[in-house]
Amino acid sequence: MTTEVLKKPPVEHQEKAAAQLQFLDLGLQFEQIRNDVMQAVTNVLEKQRFILGLEVEQLEAEISDYLDCRFAVSCASGTDALMLALMATGVSSGDEVITTPFTFVATASAIVRAGATPVFADIDPKSYNLDPESVARAITSRTRAVIPVHLFGLPAEMGPIEDVAARSGINVIEDAAQAIGATDRGRKAGTIGAMGCFSFFPSKNLGAAGDGGMIATNDPKHADRLRLLRVHGSRQKYQYEILGTNSRLDALQAAILRVKLRHLNDWTEQRRRNAERYRRLFANSKTSGLVLPTETSGMRHVYNQFTVRCAERDLLREHLRREGIPTEIYYPNPLHLQPAFAYLGYREGSLPHAEAAAREVLSLPNYPELTEDQQQIIVNAVTRFFSHASVNAEKEE
C-alpha cells in the first residue's frame, strides 16, 4: 500500500475539493458550451418552429451517422422510445417480453404500457447485464421479444442473446439509454437488435435540457411505423391509419443535443479516463472488499456510471456521506420485488444475482470534468472505510 493513497491532502485543499464534489456537475459542462447552446436556442426561438421540423430532422440524421445505422427516429423520452419500439414490432395483449429486473422501471413499465407481460430473467453478477442462459430458460410460446439493457454503459452479451432470440423467432429490442457510444465487438450499442432505444435525460452521457428519446433501426419498415406511431398514427392531418400516441421531440431539445453531440466523443473518453484512474488509484489502496466494474473483452464501456460493489454497501455509503462524498444507488430494489409488479408473482430469492446486486452496488461520481484531485479524495475516503473495518475486525478477534 503506498503512502500517497492513504495520505490526506492538506486540510484546506481537501475541504475545497470536497466542497466542490457533486455526484454529477452539469454546470461545468454547460460553461464549456454556453455560447453555442444559447445561439442554438435563440435560432429556434427566432424561427418559432418548436415541434419536429428541421432541427429534429438534422439531429436524427446526425445520430444515425454517429451510430452507423440507417434510421434514427426521435421521440419525447427514453421511456416512450421503448414503448414505441414494442408497438412497432406488434407486441400487444397476451404477449410476453423478457427483460432484466436490475434496471430503471421504464424498461419494464414500457412492456406493460404496450399491453404485454414482463418476464424477468436474472443477471450476470459481474456485468450486471442479462444472463443469456437465464433468458433462454424464460422463453415460452408467448414470448415476443427480449429487452437487454446495456447497464451503466457496458453492452450486454448481444451475441448469445441474439442466438437465443433467433432460435425462438423473437425480436431483440435494446435498452441503450445509458450506453450511447458503447460498442460490442465493433457494433454500436442500440444498432444490433431490431431496434435500439436511447434516452436524452439530462444525466445521460448525451443529455438534453429536459426529456427526449431516440430509436435506432436498420429496418425501413420499423422506421416508417415509428414515425407514424409518434404522431397519433397520422401522415395526413386528421387522417389516422392506426392508433398511435403523442411522442414528439421538440426543436429546442434537438438544437441543444446537436451542440452536445459534437462533444460526445471527447466526453466519453474523459469518462473512460476517469474509470482507468479509479482503477489505478484503487489498485494502490487497501480495499480488498471492493469490487470494481468489469470491462468485458471486445467491448467499449462508456461509464454512464462507475459502479462498485461492497458487501457492506450501506455502511460504506454512510461513511462517504459523512466525508462529503456524494454517491447514488442504481438500483436499491430489483423490479420483480417492487409492489407495482407484485401481480407477476415473483418472490424473494427468485432472481438471486439481481437481488444480491441491489444490496451491494454503489455508484461513485464519474463525469467528464471530475479532476484527479477529486478522485484521489474519493479513493482516500473509501480506503479509510476499509482500514477502519479491518481494525475493528482485528479488535473483535
Q: Which among 14, 52, 61 is positioned nearest to 248, based on CA atoms? A: 52
Domain with residue 145: its CATH number is 3.40.640.10
* Domain C-terminal end among 239, 261, 283: 261
Residue 220 phi, psi (nearest 5): -60, -30
**Which value, to the nearest 10 degrees, does the dihedral of the CA atoms of residues 189, 192, 195, 201 take?**
0
* Domain C-terminal end among 238, 261, 284: 261
203, 24 contact by CB (below 8 A) = yes
Measured in residues, the chain has a length of: 397
Distance of alpha carbon 91 from alpha carbon 329, whole angstroms: 32
pLDDT greater than 50 at residue 96: yes
Which residue type sits at 284? N
> Are 53 and 152 contained in the same domain?
yes
> Are 287 and 247 contained in the same domain?
no
Question: What is this structure's pTM?
Answer: 0.93
> Are 234 and 103 contained in the same domain?
yes
Structural domain of 19: 3-25+264-396
Which residue type sits at 6? L
Q: 395: pLDDT confidence band, cut at 50, 70 and 90?
A: very low
pLDDT greater than 90 at residue 13: no
Overall number of domains in the chain: 2
pLDDT digits (tens, 9 = 90+) for 361-380: 999 999 999 999 999 999 99
